[in-house]
Amino acid sequence: MSRTSGADVRQHPGVEEWRGVERGLLRMRRTLLVAELLPVAVALGALLGPLAGPWWASVAAVPLAAAAWGWRALALNWRSWRYAERADDLLIARGVLWRRLTVVPYGRMQLVEVTSGPLERRFGLARVQLHTAAAATDAHIAGLAPEEAERLRDRLTELGEARSAGL
């Protein structure tokens, strides 16, 4: 795969301290995965077994295999999510197959949003979304602890005001 860690686009020169996201995010996504695929597998097995014979019931293994693969893929994806606050910009890195590193200068931030849906609240998570004047800017961090999300929001807003620049 990647030859050296130095060739990883998710690294950034001059950044030592990366912060990961909460483990609750992985738990939430795995719960969702199982909650979606397990009933499908059960329904397939229960319907096809009596109706079409036990051979056909093995089709139920497909959602199970998907769930097993997803279980691992989610862990990899979760581990790849990182962010770092630097003096003048925020860095967000993520992705396993499609890797991506986003750099947003504080002065460009128009708005910082913290959201937390009912499911996220159950897992003690919040999500921070940054908006710049460019709609293509894709800067969000899912799976932060609510206190950390609020701290980040306040800090970003403060830094954004201090370094604010027009269009």
Partner 1 sequence: MVLPQRPEGRRLHPVTPWRRAWAPMAALFAFAVQDPERARQGAEHLTPGRLVAGLAVLLPLIAAYGFLSWWMTSYLVTETELRIRTGLLFRRVAHIRLDRVQAIDVGRPLLARLIGVAKLRLDVVGTGKKDELAFLSEREAVALRAELLARAAGMAPESASEVGEAPSRELVRVEPWTLVVSLLLLGTSWGTLAAVLVVPPLVGWASGSLWAALVVTVPLLGGVWRGGLGRFLTEFDWSVAESPDGVRVDHGLLDRAHATVPPGRVQAVRIVEPWLWRRRGWVRVELDVAGGGGEGSDVLLPVAPREVARAVLERILPGMDPWEAEAVLRPSPRRARRVVPLWWRGYGHGVTATVFASRRGLVCRKLSLVPHAKVQSVRVTQGPWERVFGLADVHVDHGANGTVTARLRTVEEARAVAAAQAERSRTGRRTARPERWLT
The residues binding partner 1 (CB under 8 A) are 1-3, 6-9, 11-14, 88-89, 95, 97-105, 107-108, 132-139, 163, 165-167
Residue 95 CB, shortest distance to partner 1, in Å, is 8
User: Looking at beta carbons only, is 36 or 88 nearer to partner 1?
Assistant: 88
User: Looking at beta carbons only, is 31 or 69 nearer to partner 1?
Assistant: 69
Residue 105 CB, shortest distance to partner 1, in Å, is 6
Burial 40-74 (b: 16+ CB within 10 A, else e): ebeebbeebbeeeeeeebeebeebbebbeebeeeb
How far is 165 from 167, CA to CA, in rounded Å?
Answer: 7
Residue 48 CB, shortest distance to partner 1, in Å, is 35
User: Looking at beta carbons only, is 29 or 94 nearer to partner 1?
Assistant: 94
Cα 119–Cα 84–Cα 89 angle in degrees, nearest 5: 110
- Helix (H/G/I), strand (E/B), else coil: 90: strand
